[in-house]
């Protein structure tokens, strides 16, 4: 028994060594390798430019596909529709019910894949290089799943249910792999979650001294540090506005962004991918960011010291 487990472990080690995966588990090692596939960069750049050209920054369609109106990225919840339908198809196939039921559920999954892909590719077009590499492979695997399921539906409609079922199971395997890569992108590479959220837990409640009012330039944003936190600070005369400096999309430095009036409100445009935030309260005007920038209350003491505290909702 001990011998068997030793030999399995040694075989695993050899496979990992052959693939150059170091001490990582097999799936993690493979996804880590995909992150470094620089051979994908050229094609990614061309595709991402084409998507951004088709969906210009600030357009209504692009904001909806990012999920700005819903406040969360739109792609993950849409993806669960197709994946759920395809899992249901496999279950229905296994219990051998009326083939019309599995056909209807399968077709719903295929229909759901189209808006899911549109939202996904819109998010993907404004990711970092490593994230785009994993995203590209994720898309190719999911397109393979979509192709297998389309073939499966076609075969079922032609009356070849057995072959349709087999193709459906193959599609589920591909969709599962695509889901794993999507999870890697979201949870390990942080494409999607707010990058400004942890900030609210790093600052104790109450007022904190930040700097002197007259040390701040007039009308030009600067960054100031408060403990671990970088803040975006903008002074106009005696008025000071303070937001978190790291953009909620992918942590771009907002103080290096452009100031603009958008919809008659003072805004800052992130220098990395163009998210637009209201300076007054940090809310999102245009994506790709879907989460607001944390904003701060400001108090200027009589001796000119600027104090800040996290804004309570």
- How far apart CA 18 and CA 184 sit, in angstroms, is 23
Residue 133 or 165: the one with the smaller Cβ distance to ligand FES is 133
- Least distance from C-beta 269 to ligand FES, angstroms? 9
Report if residue 252 touches ligand FES, rule: CB under 6 A. Answer: yes
Residue 66 or 165: the one with the smaller Cβ distance to ligand FES is 66
- Least distance from C-beta 90 to ligand FES, angstroms? 38
- How far apart CA 216 and CA 304 sit, in angstroms, is 11
- How far apart CA 82 and CA 172 sit, in angstroms, is 11
Report if residue 275 touches ligand FES, rule: CB under 6 A. Answer: yes
Report if residue 288 touches ligand FES, rule: CB under 6 A. Answer: yes
- How far apart CA 200 and CA 298 sit, in angstroms, is 16
CB 18 within 8 A of CB 8: no
Report if residue 48 touches ligand FES, rule: CB under 6 A. Answer: no
* C-alpha dist (Å) from residue 158 to 67, 172, 206: 38, 21, 69
CB 272 within 8 A of CB 247: yes
Report if residue 168 touches ligand FES, rule: CB under 6 A. Answer: no
Q: Binding ligand FES by CB under 6 A: which of 85, 105, 244, 247?
A: 247
| Residues contacting 91, CB < 8 A, separation 6+ | none
Q: For ligand FES, which stretch binds (CB under 6 A), given 35-43, 59-67, 110-118, 242-250? A: 242-250
- How many CB atoms are closer than 10 A to CB 11? 10
Report if residue 272 touches ligand FES, rule: CB under 6 A. Answer: yes
180-239 binders of ligand FES (CB under 6 A): none
Could you tell me which of 113, 108, 150, 132 has the C-alpha nearest to residue 51?
132
Q: Binding ligand FES by CB under 6 A: which of 213, 270, 285, 306?
A: 270
- Least distance from C-beta 136 to ligand FES, angstroms? 19
Residue whose tokens read 């903008």: 234
62-101 binders of ligand FES (CB under 6 A): none
Report if residue 279 touches ligand FES, rule: CB under 6 A. Answer: no
- How far apart CA 123 and CA 280 sit, in angstroms, is 26
Eight-state DSSP code of residue 40: G
Segment (H or E) for 172: helix 161-183
Q: Binding ligand FES by CB under 6 A: which of 138, 273, 278, 286?
A: 273
Report if residue 133 touches ligand FES, rule: CB under 6 A. Answer: no
Q: For ligand FES, which stretch binds (CB under 6 A), given 84-92, 224-232, 248-256, 278-286? A: 248-256
Binding site for ligand FES (CB under 6 A): 247, 249-250, 252, 270, 272-275, 288-289
């Amino acid at each position: 028994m001990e011998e068997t487990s030793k030999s399995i472990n040694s075989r695993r080690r050899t496979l990992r060594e052959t693939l150059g995966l170091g001490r990582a588990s097999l799936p993690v090692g493979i996804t880590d390798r995909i992150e470094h596939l620089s051979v994908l960069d050229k094609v990614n750049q061309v595709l991402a430019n084409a998507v951004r050209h088709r969906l210009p920054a600030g357009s209504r369609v692009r904001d909806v596909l990012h999920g700005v109106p819903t406040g969360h990225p739109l792609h993950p919840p849409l993806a669960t529709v197709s994946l759920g339908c395809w899992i249901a198809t496999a279950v229905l196939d296994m219990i051998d019910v009326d083939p019309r039921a599995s056909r209807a559920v399968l077709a719903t999954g295929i229909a759901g894949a189209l808006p899911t892909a549109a939202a996904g590719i819109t998010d993907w077009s404004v990711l970092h290089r490593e994230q785009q590499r994993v995203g590209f492979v994720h898309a190719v695997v999911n397109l393979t799943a979509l192709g297998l399921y389309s073939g499966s539906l076609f075969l079922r409609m032609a009356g070849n249910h057995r072959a349709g079922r087999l193709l459906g199971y193959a599609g589920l395997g591909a969709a599962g792999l695509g889901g794993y890569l999507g999870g890697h992108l979201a949870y390990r590479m942080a494409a999607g979650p707010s990058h400004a959220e942890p900030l609210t837990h790093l600052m104790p409640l109450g007022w904190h001294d930040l700097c002197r009012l007259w040390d701040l330039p007039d009308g030009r944003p600067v960054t100031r540090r408060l403990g671990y936190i970088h803040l975006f600070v903008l002074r106009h005369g005696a008025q000071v506005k303070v937001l978190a400096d790291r953009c909620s999309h992918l942590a771009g430095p907002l103080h290096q962004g452009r100031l603009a009036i958008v919809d008659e409100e003072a805004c800052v445009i992130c220098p990395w991918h163009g998210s637009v935030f209201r300076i007054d309260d940090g809310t999102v005007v245009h994506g790709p960011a879907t989460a607001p920038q944390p904003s701060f209350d400001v108090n200027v003491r009589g001796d000119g010291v600027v104090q800040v505290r996290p804004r309570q909702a």
